[in-house]
Amino acid sequence: MVLDDIRLMPLQCPGCGKEINSKEEDCVYFCSECGKGFQIIENKFKKVDVIYAKPEIEISDKQLYYLPMWQLMTTISIKDKYTLEHKDIPEEILKNRQFTSLLTSLFKEKDARKKMIFFVPAFGVTNRYQLMDHPGFQFTVDPPRLKGGAPVDMIGAEYSLDDAKEIAKVMFLSIQAHTRSVILDADIDFEFRRYRIAGIPFFEEEGLLVDGIKGFRIFKDALKSWDEIKEGIRKGGK
Ligand SMILES: [Zn+2]
């Protein structure tokens, strides 16, 4: 038996014993029965908190597909003061007043420490993910208050917590890079305090996938394996 054969074997939920279907690439698994999420670290199960978010927008009787996102509660600190005016900030961020003031005060105050919640896809994405609304970025700029519902079938996560932390930093640095101010050399410290997986409901509309929380859209081929996800969740029947 080679190692690949082991990876493809069905897993059993350590919480309730139900069989969990997994892909070879998965690094976090979710049980549709009891809702628990877990990572396997050094051959041991490590529990990951999961919230299965209830849709917030009108979805009528559409089929929902839950996709996992990391939600990282972070404290960002910057020691020095920098000049950052509203006019320096990219337009897509200026639309949100709260995030704009968070960003300006973070750079303009000395020894600034601010809380930020990053939303980072844990599902496998292609480079098409950045092209439409990019829900992870939109949720980070304007974090939704998620209400939890009953566990549902959800695909495994391909990006680990460590991947998510790196992606969050890159997301922040890309915001910084889009400003018209000289803050590129700022020494930024990220303290990731708490985390969980947020299962975000999506549905199909006009050839796109739309999130059921705020209605942001992604291309179907922004997901690495949309057809398999669709097929798998249908078979799961929940
Ligand atoms: Zn279970």
Q: Please say if the pLDDT value at position 63 is more than 70.
A: yes
- Ramachandran angles phi, psi of 152, nearest 5°: -135, 170
Please report, rounded to a whole number, the percentage of residues in the chain having pLDDT higher than 70: 94
Tens digits of per-residue pLDDT, 179-222? Answer: 877 777 788 999 999 999 999 999 999 989 999 999 999 999 99
Tens digits of per-residue pLDDT, 2-57? Answer: 444 444 557 889 999 999 888 888 999 999 999 999 998 888 889 999 999 999 99
* Global pTM value: 0.90
The alpha carbon of residue 20 and the mean position of all alpha carbons in its chain are separated, in whole angstroms, by: 21
pLDDT of residue 78: 93
Q: On the CB side of 45, how many CA atoms lie within 13 Å of its CA?
A: 14
Residue 76 alpha carbon to ligand 1 centre in Å: 35
Residue 208 alpha carbon to ligand 1 centre in Å: 31
Residue 107 alpha carbon to ligand 1 centre in Å: 45
Residues 35 and 49: their CA atoms lie apart, in Å, by 9
Domain coordinates in residue numbering, the chain: 8-236
Residue 16 alpha carbon to ligand 1 centre in Å: 4
Are 141 and 227 contacting, i.e. CB atoms less than 8 angstroms apart? no
Name the band, by pLDDT with cuts 50, 70 and 90, for residue 238.
very low
Residue 205 alpha carbon to ligand 1 centre in Å: 31
